[in-house]
Amino acid sequence: MFNPLEKIDEYHWRIPRSYKPGMKVEGLIYADEKLLKDIYRDKALEQVANVAFLPGIVNYSLAMPDIHWGYGMPIGGVAATDIDKGGVVGAGLVGYDINCGVRLLKTNFQYDDIKDKIRDLVYALFSDVPSGVGSKGDIRVSAKEEKELLLKGASWAVEKGFGCQDDLECTEENGAIAGADPDAVSDRAYERGKAQSGTLGSGNHFLEIQVIDQLYDRDICDRLELDLGQVMVMIHSGSRGFGYQICEDYSRGMIACLQKYHINVPDRQLACAPVNSDEGKQYLGAMRCAANYAWVNRQCLMHLSRKSFERIFSMSWQKMGMALIYDVAHNIAKIEKYTIDGKEKLLCVHRKGATRAFGPGNPALPERYRDIGQPVIIPGDMGRNSYLLVGTKKAEEDTFGSTCHGAGRVKSRTASMKSTNLNTLLKELESKGIIVKASGRDTIVEEAPQAYKDVNDVVNVVHNAGISKRVCRMRPVGVIKG
């Protein structure tokens, strides 16, 4: 039991600075009593306290209700550092799958009208979208184009005919974060990233056909042209081996920075460097390359998904209304402005397994969403639900414009393998009307619903705490896993 945890109210819990000498700020956890039982299962809360040691950290070391143990910083963690006061950036504070993220498309279809086609769709998507460890796609990229796409991000894919301009407007950072530096990327990362654009990847990455089963905000649903029974498509993928190698390279390289810059952290996995140092700038340049690579990847995945729908229904994706609602990043560090103690500050905001959740009026949002807030997409496990929410001003004030990113694991993949029977699981999913295809049997068992917290509980916390606002809920009917 994590004894130092103090209850603030029903959805906020504090780790006081007195817990560990050297903590510069308190830990603040978003959770309720039910979710705390799962959070206590690993050492994620200890990691929240460790993150509070970071030079330049401001306000809190934050944890979302989907928090679980990660490399150095917990998954579901948020930390902002003041650049002008020696604030740091760290590879372990972003994570291995840089810009792992999710995008949500709508369609004009009602489930009852196409339910007999769901199996055909699942098989078509599984055939058309490369998935699994080391998978390679049909979208080939030359050495020259590889560096070009790292700078241009999703616009590179759109220029190649893999989407349209509206897709970019509905993507965080318009699908390309400025400041990418291809020269900061190792040859090994380039080698691993070659031919992986437009591939789904493995583990918790997925492509799902979903159906809206609950509306929470009718006005926003009407604005987005969403209704009960409507068929949606959700894509979850990241920067694949390319981003993984960048994290690997800089996690090792930053260990020397601890001594060089006199940084005292209780865990070497929190190795970091001042944002304004050469090492910090190099990492940010490489990380932005991986972020842009991931946006290219999801843009290509969406293109392939649209093509599969076109093949099954013999009509254009435009006629089927397959418009992108939004694409959000989960593992990323962003330079953003916030008011701290009455002064505007430039902060390096690390969101590791956390989603940006800007509220209404934020100038970073496209015009179409500026009055309702940024769409926030929270996927759950393949047996329960996923959510569309919008960001809030309260999130900008309390959590550096951040919210949760998913359900959060409660069982390791190994534990899930030991405790789950594949045939039983498939029968359970089929009884719920969920068709699953995966590149390997192990992946299905590793990603069993019982390996995750209930996303309904997680979303309930962030909604009631006011850091994001529920719009509608979806349930899966077709699942493609890597």
The residues annotated as belonging to the active site are: 405
3-state secondary structure of 168: helix
Q: Which residues have CB under 8 Å from 300's CB, separation 6+?
A: 137, 139, 157, 162, 197, 198
Both structure tokens of 358: 């800007």
- The rounded distance, in Å, linking the Cα atoms of 118 and 434 is 9
The DSSP bridge pattern shows strands 435-438 and 468-481 to be parallel
Burial of 288 (0-12, 13-18, 19+ CB in 10 A): buried
Q: Which residues have CB under 8 Å from 365's CB, separation 6+?
A: 358, 373, 374
- The rounded distance, in Å, linking the Cα atoms of 309 and 402 is 33
From first CA to last CA, the distance across the chain in angstroms is: 36
- The rounded distance, in Å, linking the Cα atoms of 15 and 11 is 14
- The rounded distance, in Å, linking the Cα atoms of 295 and 84 is 30
Which among 391, 373, 380 is positioned nearest to 463, based on CA atoms? 391
Which among 325, 224, 335, 323 is positioned nearest to 287, based on CA atoms? 335
- The rounded distance, in Å, linking the Cα atoms of 41 and 44 is 9
